[in-house]
Structure 1
Amino acid sequence: MAGLVAKAKSFISRVLKADIVKVFSLTSISTLVKMCTGLISVKIVASIIGPAGVALVGQLNNFATIAMAFSSGGINAGITKYIAEYREDNSMVAQLLSNALRITTICSAICAVVLIVFHRYISQLVMLSADYGYVFVIFGITILLYALNNMLISIVNGYKEFRKYVYISIANSIVGVIFTVALVLLWELKGALISAVTYQSVMLFITLWMLRGTPWLKWNFFKKKLDKIVSDKYFKYALMAIVNTLTLPISQMFLRGYVMAEISPIEAGCWEGMNRISNMYLMVVTSSFGVYYLPRLSEISQIDKLRHEIIKAYKVVVPILLVGFGLST
């Protein structure tokens, strides 16, 4: 019995010292803040604009997710991967950052033109009414800022600056809920819709302020010309990212749109509220893997070490998930 207890203590000690657990701890704090601010935002927004308004905001959020995938060229995972792999080589980092900026700018410009020119058609398609076309014009104007913010966060993740990543995430959550609630209080449904397509753009300035003094955040790292080889590296991730981004939001948009058209906008709003709450449960695990696993695997070049890292994560994550599932039941 004593031997079993000693083994258990040794296992727990190893688990607590593991890097992935440290990242889980940090991202858990970030996720907790995001959950709290999300619940506050949903509660306040729902009480002011009602379930039907929440359904419209849900449609817009799903569309914004899709638009963001295209505006970034689907390369954010590639940015994290290659920065993690080459972060000790400043010359290569400069090539990666310069190409990332140019691809993001070009793709965002194309998306902006589409959103502004076809705003009424997109509004009818997404919101089931052309009356919200102004929202897509605003989105087109600000989408570049939105994409740049995500690009910077991907770079931070690639450098494995986990604390800074978490601090930025927490700041974004807090400022985001303040921004959203303020616009909703001012303009109700109109404010909620505008907030849905602009709050990430506001976050760019918060992110830049928090990254001030960072060695790589200098123009010298972003001024190189577009390089075909580096661009091809990035676009290997584009199809994967875009398909992954398209599937869930589109299915949710179709389902929510069907409920709005065939049942009622109020019922669609109730479904959206429950959907948002259910999505929060898995954020601790999914956020931690997104922050830790991609950059960690990217810096490993040997098969044996890669296998060891996967097994180590498996030994840590599975017990945590089993305990979580047991407590939830």
Structure 2
Amino acid sequence: MTSLNAGAIVVRLFISAIIQRLLTEYVGPVGQYKIGQLRSLSILLTSITSLGTFNGIVKYIAEYKKDEIKLQQLFSSVFIFLIVGVSISTSVLLFFSKDISNYLFSSTEYSYLIKLTAIIIPFIAVQRVFNGVINGLSEYKKYAKIDLISYLFSALLTVFFLFQYNLDGVLVAIAITPVVQVSVMLFFFYKVLREYIQFKDLTLQAPMAKALLAFTVMSFVSSILLPIVEIDIRGMLDEKLSGRDAGIWTNMTFISQNYMVFSSSIFTLYVIPKFAGIYNAGNFKKEVFSIYKTLLPLFAGGMILVFFFRNVIIDIIYPGQIEMAPLFKWQLMGDFVRLASLVLAHQFLAKKLVINFIFTEIMSLALFYGFAYYFTGIYGVEGVVMAHFLRYLVYFFVVLYLVSRYFKKKRSAIE
């Protein structure tokens, strides 16, 4: 699975580098800041439209993939969640398009873009659910193929719209990308989806609503609050420093997202289903060390290369944005600690430990928000990546303590 992901990620990184170079030349850091705002909105909607059921789908598909009755109950429940999530999201975007445009871009001129996104919302929701099915089934090869082909088509769409309509074209391309993703997914995975989702038998009942609501709450904290915090931090950088600084940080996070996507697919395809079936501390430690032995050296090696060639990366992808160079060390250290932390934290999702998950996520976001505002006043844009590192350092030790406490309680209960 790691090797499959590595191949897909190498291709993604190469294409992403070309697109980022084109964006640097055509729209500059201020344009990239606006692109970052829209991407954060897209991430926000990915969770809201499905009411955060993604991890629940992954968990229960892994557990019930041979139980037709349970699967039918699951997808009927998810269907209700989608209707609610899509209705709320579409209404809010249509009625408050000018306010949302002003919040994201400090201008109402992009209200048309918010309305376009509202029309695309059903595709965002459906794509998220289908992704959950693929992850729950641990279809590694199909997932890698679908993800790569979707990315290629989305990249072509972005480049075409960039050349035709400049920044507005790129923003429109990002907004309609979910349509491309759903189309590719149905082309390659329709037969399997029909095997597990009996579309004609879906009912307006939600027998598993209570089980899924726990994931809705957890998703609200991680998938909804994080993009809001990122949007606010970009706005703060634009206000305190400049739009260019906001763009510089956006570009730094974009580099980070491109190599971190390697780990996110492993978490949902492998870690959650695996942890869901582990019930004692010994087996959990064994599995965690196995994951660490595979992933951490790979990431450490890659991050060291990125650090030593940071100036080359800037010259090739972001020429003229030399302010990015000091940001690399903090971002890379923060991402390494983040990876080690997230492996442990996925125990909260696998075992539906709602309170632990919510507490650690809110703590992490609060630390990031607070540190970012404080350090930006002292160190400028570098203060945000320093906040990123410190936040995950604290997060790691708190998560480690809570996971250890969980297994101690389990052992005490058995004794």
TM-score tier (shorter): 0.7 to 0.9
Gaps of 5+ in 1: 1-22
Residues 328 and 269 from structure 1, CA distance in 2 versus in 1: closer, same or farther, beyond 3 angstroms?
closer
How big is each residue's C-alpha offset from its partner over 1:174-224, in whole Å with a ceiling of 9 and x where there is no partner?
Answer: 111111111111111111111222112221111101113226357734533
Code of the aligned partner of 2:114: F
Alignment of 1:2-21 (within 5 A): none
1:126 corresponds to which residue? 104
- Say which of 69, 74, 89 aligns to 2:47: 69
Code of the aligned partner of 1:121: D
Other structure's SS at 1:214 match:
helix
- Say which of 308, 312, 317 aligns to 2:283: 308
Gaps of 5+ in 2: 305-415
**Distance (whole Å) between structure 1 residues aligned to residue 171 and residue 226 of structure 2:** 21
Structure 1 residues 84-93 or 281-290, which shifts more? 281-290
**Distance (whole Å) between structure 1 residues aligned to residue 149 and residue 106 of structure 2:** 34
If the length of structure 1 is used for normalisation, what is the TM-score? 0.85
**Distance (whole Å) between structure 2 residues aligned to residue 309 and residue 38 of structure 1:** 36
Q: How far did 1:261 drift? A: 2.6
1:289 corresponds to which residue? 267
2:172 corresponds to which residue? 194
If the length of structure 2 is used for normalisation, what is the TM-score? 0.68
Residues 307 and 160 from structure 1, CA distance in 2 versus in 1: closer, same or farther, beyond 3 angstroms?
farther
Structure 1 residues 75-84 or 224-233, which shifts more? 224-233
How big is each residue's C-alpha offset from its partner over 1:285-305, in whole Å with a ceiling of 9 and x where there is no partner?
Answer: 33322221112333x2x624x
Q: How far did 1:320 drift? A: 4.1
Code of the aligned partner of 2:88: I
**Distance (whole Å) between structure 2 residues aligned to residue 171 and residue 326 of structure 1:** 27
How big is each residue's C-alpha offset from its partner over 1:77-114, in whole Å with a ceiling of 9 and x where there is no partner?
Answer: 10111011000112221221232233113311210111
Contact 1:146 1:198 in 2 (8 A): no
**Distance (whole Å) between structure 2 residues aligned to residue 316 and residue 218 of structure 1:** 29
1:325 corresponds to which residue? 300
1:28 corresponds to which residue? 6
2:25 corresponds to which residue? 47
- Say which of 85, 90, 100 aligns to 2:63: 85
Contact 2:79 2:204 in 1 (8 A): no
Other structure's SS at 1:282 match:
helix
**Distance (whole Å) between structure 2 residues aligned to residue 35 and residue 166 of structure 1:** 14
> Larger relative CO (CA 8 A, sep 6+): 1 or 2?
1
Other structure's SS at 1:303 match:
coil
Alignment of 1:262-301 (within 5 A): 262-298=240-276, 300=277
- Is the aligned partner of 1:206 residue 2:211? no
Residues 323 and 55 from structure 1, CA distance in 2 versus in 1: closer, same or farther, beyond 3 angstroms?
closer
Contact 2:45 2:124 in 1 (8 A): no
**Distance (whole Å) between structure 2 residues aligned to residue 317 and residue 114 of structure 1:** 42
Contact 1:71 1:147 in 2 (8 A): yes
1:16 corresponds to which residue? none
How big is each residue's C-alpha offset from its partner over 1:65-87, in whole Å with a ceiling of 9 and x where there is no partner?
Answer: 11221111000110111011000
Residues 220 and 229 from structure 1, CA distance in 2 versus in 1: closer, same or farther, beyond 3 angstroms?
closer
**Distance (whole Å) between structure 1 residues aligned to residue 189 and residue 290 of structure 2:** 34
Q: How far did 1:153 drift? A: 1.0
**Distance (whole Å) between structure 1 residues aligned to residue 114 and residue 302 of structure 2:** 43
Contact 2:136 2:268 in 1 (8 A): no
Code of the aligned partner of 2:74: L
**Distance (whole Å) between structure 1 residues aligned to residue 113 and residue 303 of structure 2:** 40
Contact 1:74 1:241 in 2 (8 A): yes
